[in-house]
């Protein structure tokens, strides 16, 4: 097993455990302090856009998750859906979805962003979620059936090799997932392949200013917890441009210091949640 496969396996195991442990009674979180060696306070510390993906269970409530979406999240989504939110922002609202559009969610998890998007695109639109974790796909499909959403489909696959046709997608969104990939250039190349000409990308993700050391990147727990797999924001944007995307832009970001939090970083890079958009040339 090569290193990329090991990373995939560790990430898959982490999220499978989250899915199996979710009972619908308590907000899920992908990075509790019991198995994370880097202090998570320096990432979110209760901020709006770096909440569920990188916080401890004691930091999170349903209202904290709603802070990711403000008043935009449909109020009729049950806690079985919203409680499995593991994102770091709101790529759905950012995407400005229109009725009839075909949407792809990379790393769809329990399906919260897919169900939100499905309401935006309506019955004439369609939403596809891709995820590599069987337990998450099981949760997502169960939620879809409960909601009776016939315009949502979940597919098993890796975001580095998407089970999606060329030039078939209007909008790609992703929420705190691409940082987990060890092959980010492949993710962006695949995103470019499946988008229709003129299609757009709406991403919420964890990025850095500066880079982790090789030793820090080797920490498998921190990688799976949306930390040490993150890359410098300029490198992130360059990879998107190299894949062919135009108008790559960081729309906004949230950093702990912006909220008056004192951070002890040591030799770590500055970490923050960013929302990023880009377009495939028409």
* Total-model pTM: 0.86
pLDDT band (50, 70, 90) for residue 201: very high
C-alpha neighbours within 13 Å on the C-beta side of residue 37? 11
Residue 61 is encoded by which pair of tokens? 């409530």
3-state secondary structure of 99: coil
Tens-digit pLDDT profile for residues 171-190: 999 999 999 999 999 999 99
Q: How confident is the model at residue 258, as a pLDDT?
A: 59
Q: Could you tell me which of 130, 138, 121 has the C-alpha nearest to residue 159?
A: 130
CATH class of this structure's domain 3-279: alpha beta
Q: Is the pLDDT of residue 158 over 80?
A: yes
What lies within 8 Å, CB to CB, of 188 at 6+ separation is: 239, 240, 242, 243, 245
Name the phi and psi angles at 258, rounded to 5: -65, -20
**Residue appearing with tokens 């097993």:** 1
Average the pLDDT over 193-215 and give the result: 95
Task: Quote the pLDDT of residue 219.
Answer: 86
**pLDDT score at 72:** 80
Neighbours of 47 (CB within 10 A): 21
Q: What is the pLDDT of residue 35?
A: 37
Q: What is the mean pLDDT of residues 134-158?
A: 95
> Rounded CA gap, 265 and 209, in Å?
12
Q: Which helix (H) or strand (E) holds 153?
A: strand 152-156
Provide the CB-side half-sphere exposure for 3 (13 A, CA).
9
Higher pLDDT, 98 or 36: 98
Where are the domains positioned within the chain?
A: 3-279
**CA separation for the pair 51, 61 (Å, rounded):** 10
pLDDT > 60? residue 36 = no
Q: Counting every residue, how long is the chain? A: 282
CA distance 282 to 96: 18
Report the half-sphere exposure of 109 (CA within 13 A, side-chain side): 29
SS3 sequence, 40-84?
Answer: HHHCCCCCCCCCCCCCCHHHCCHHHHHHCCCCCCCCCCCHHHHCC
Query: Sheet harboring 126-131: ordered strands across?
Result: 152-156, 126-131, 102-106, 169-175, 195-209, 270-279, 246-254
């Amino acid at each position: 097993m090569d290193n990329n496969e090991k990373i995939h396996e560790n990430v898959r195991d982490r999220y499978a455990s989250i899915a199996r442990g979710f009972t619908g009674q308590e907000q899920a979180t992908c990075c509790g302090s019991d198995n994370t060696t880097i202090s998570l306070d320096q990432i979110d510390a209760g901020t709006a856009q770096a909440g569920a993906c990188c916080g401890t269970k004691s930091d999170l409530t349903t209202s904290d998750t709603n802070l990711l979406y403000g008043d935009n999240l449909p109020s009729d989504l049950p806690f079985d859906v919203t409680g499995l939110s593991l994102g770091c922002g709101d790529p759905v609202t950012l995407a400005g979805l229109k009725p009839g559009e075909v949407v792809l969610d990379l790393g769809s998890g329990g399906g919260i962003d897919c169900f939100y998007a499905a309401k935006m695109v309506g019955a004439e639109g369609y939403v596809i979620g891709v995820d590599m974790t069987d337990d998450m796909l099981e949760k997502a499909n169960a939620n879809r059936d409960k909601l009776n959403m016939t315009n949502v489909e979940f597919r098993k696959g890796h975001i580095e090799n998407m089970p999606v046709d060329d030039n078939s997608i209007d909008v790609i969104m992703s929420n705190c997932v691409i940082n987990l990939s060890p092959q980010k250039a492949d993710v962006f190349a695949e995103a470019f392949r499946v988008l229709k000409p003129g299609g757009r990308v709406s991403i919420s993700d964890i990025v850095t200013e500066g880079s982790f050391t090789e030793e820090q990147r080797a920490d498998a727990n921190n990688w799976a917890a949306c930390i040490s797999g993150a890359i410098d924001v300029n490198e992130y944007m360059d990879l998107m441009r190299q894949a062919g995307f135009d108008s790559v832009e960081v729309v906004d970001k949230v950093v702990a210091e912006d909220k008056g939090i004192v951070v002890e970083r040591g030799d770590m890079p500055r970490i923050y949640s960013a929302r990023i958009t880009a377009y495939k040339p028409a």
